[in-house]
Structure 1
Amino acid sequence: MTAKAGEAADVVCVASWNADLISQVARPIARGETLMASAFSISPGGKGSNASVAAARQGARVALIARIGDDDFGRMGMELWQAEGIATQHVERVAGERSGVAQILVYEDGDNSIAVYPGAGAGLGARHAQAAAGLLAGCRVVMASCEVPAEATLEAFRLARAAGALTLLNPAPARPLSDELLALVDVLTPNESELYLLAGEAHAGSADQAAARLLSRGARAVLVTLGAAGCRLYQAGQPPYSIPGRPMAVRDTIGAGDTFTGALAAALARGEALPEAMQWANAAAALSVTKHGAIDGIPRHAEVAALSKQ
């Protein structure tokens, strides 16, 4: 379904956008080493854009708040969002600035390493959220990642929370989060390494203790993604709730976390409780690793429904 100009969206994403430049290599490259790649491709990327596509493919009406360059990579983003039915009236296209780029190395075991240059996205700020205040006031879920400037996320979450929407933050790439921002987060979705970094528990303490620290600082729920091991939900005053991973034939893991975030947002937007929504997101993320690339790996609603019944 499409969220057209003037219509309320179910899910609004404060979105990063970049083109993924993907090289397939046998293993991680050592400092100073040159390694021949077996394949190369350019495809749409950016955590916010990927999550938005995932939410749209799960049936949500999705709209973006974003800033991109008026260049070939920016046009790639606009074409993708149009094809996926994602509203772009709050995407600012900026002449003279480059769109973001991610340089990705994918290894034979399916794992990857990524370097991101945000480009025009680095200029996203509170004014962009304020310009979309009407959209934010009418949505059910607002999501963002740490690939966008914190001031844009903070203002979007403030406006959304005031209107009764849920807020969802994927804290990747991990960076220190202010108590002000954490207090506006309904669901925080770190992976295990991000959990420890955010909680300041890089060398000591358990995952339970790290999650408890983030809850004590204001986050309402901490949902830790564990890759092939599934995910675990922490909420104050409740025991942790775990969902096991699903055994899948892994092609690559690019975009799996973004697929989880977008599918979770879509499920929450249609009114599912958090434990049920995380079951749906877990299935969607499992399917995403069975294909190459972020966008090609993002499943449709029917595929997730079929896997969920197994």
Structure 2
Amino acid sequence: MDVVCLASWNADLISRVPRPIARGETLLASQFEIGPGGKGSNAAVAAARQGAQVAVIARIGDDDFGRMALALWHREGIDTNHVEVAAGERSGVAQILVYEGGDNSIAVYLGAGGRLGPSHAQAAEATIAAARVVMAPNEVPIEATLAAFRIARAHGVTTVLNPAPARPLPNELLALTDLLTPNEGELRGLVGMDDSVPVEDAAQALHARGTGTVLVTLGEHGACLVRPGTAPRRIPGHRVTVADTVGAGDTCTGALAAALARGLDLDTAALLANAAAALSVTGAGAISAMPSLARTEALAAGSG
């Protein structure tokens, strides 16, 4: 495998409403759909569509939503040899509200995925050791990510962490992370800095805790690549028509991992990841508009 992903999985229950809902308020939704989701699963799909050979390490329920996951991964050509189907447990669910303009709010129940642990990473040690990149989101238990990243570091495998949803991270995990892909809010939460501090400075604060490169996603404003000992690089955004932003950060992480697995340099990989994320917001749901490598390269060609 080129890329191994600790994959959180959930079924997305998506309602489209005009605006955020106040406490105690009921709003009528204009649309409802059920689709595949989970930050780890989304990133795995994004990497596969960018041409990487991908394997997932995951734990899902023995239910219709779990079967949805297996069908998706098989359809996308993703290896599922390290997926545990947990009898008597429910798969994860995300309740997503999408507002006019494309922004969203999400509540996630991890379900069976919440019990993914170090033993699952250890059982996949040979697969991790033979990969080029291992990636994980904050939706999987930190203990599982730590175990996988320790194995990766021991075998010289690049590690990529998407720190979403935002929560405190131990210094050991940050030090095992070669690339971190937060959005601006997640970055500031990790370092305890407010909006008055430039994102470049906030990202550099993570270097002191052992983190390698930080690629900060900035929505319509693109991204910022911050490496230790190198001047930060701003990557401009792309002008696209936004359907919704669900899955954009996951697409960025998956496309970045796939590009690095192909042996591309960081600058080129970041340009491709930024372009893939931009294309991903042009369709509804987490994965419907995740692009192919050809489409991503075509858009990134104008990024310089």
Q: Give the match's secondary structure for 1:205.
A: coil
Q: Distance in 2 between matches of 1:299 and 1:124?
A: 29
**Aligned 1:260-271 pairs, distance under 5 A:** 260-271=252-263
Amino acid at match of 2:245: T
Please name the residue that 1:11 is paired with.
3
Please name the residue that 2:116 is paired with.
124
Please name the residue that 1:4 is paired with.
none
1:186 matches 2:207: no
**Aligned 1:25-104 pairs, distance under 5 A:** 25-104=17-96
Please name the residue that 2:219 is paired with.
227
TM superposition shift of 1:309 = 2.8
1:211 matches 2:203: yes
Amino acid at match of 1:83: R
**Aligned 1:224-263 pairs, distance under 5 A:** 224-263=216-255
Counterpart among 163, 167, 170 of residue 159 in structure 2: 167
Q: Distance in 1 between matches of 2:238 and 2:211?
A: 28
Please name the residue that 1:5 is paired with.
none
Q: Is the 8 A contact 1:170 1:190 kept in 2?
A: yes
Amino acid at match of 1:200: G
Counterpart among 157, 160, 167 of residue 149 in structure 2: 157
Q: Is the 8 A contact 1:255 1:297 kept in 2?
A: no
Percentage of pairs with the same residue = 66
1:83-113 deviation line (CA, Å, top 9, x unaligned): 0000000000001110000000001111110
Tell me the TM-score normalised to structure 2 length: 0.98
Please name the residue that 1:277 is paired with.
269
TM superposition shift of 1:201 = 1.4
1:262-284 deviation line (CA, Å, top 9, x unaligned): 00000000001111100001110
Unaligned runs of 5+ in 2: none
Q: Is the 8 A contact 2:200 2:224 kept in 1?
A: no
Q: Distance in 1 between matches of 2:105 and 2:265?
A: 33
Report the RMSD for the aligned CA atoms in angstroms.
0.9
Counterpart among 116, 133, 137 of residue 145 in structure 1: 137
Q: Distance in 1 between matches of 2:256 and 2:204?
A: 22
Q: Distance in 2 between matches of 1:211 and 1:70?
A: 40
Amino acid at match of 1:232: C
Q: Distance in 1 between matches of 2:254 and 2:201?
A: 27
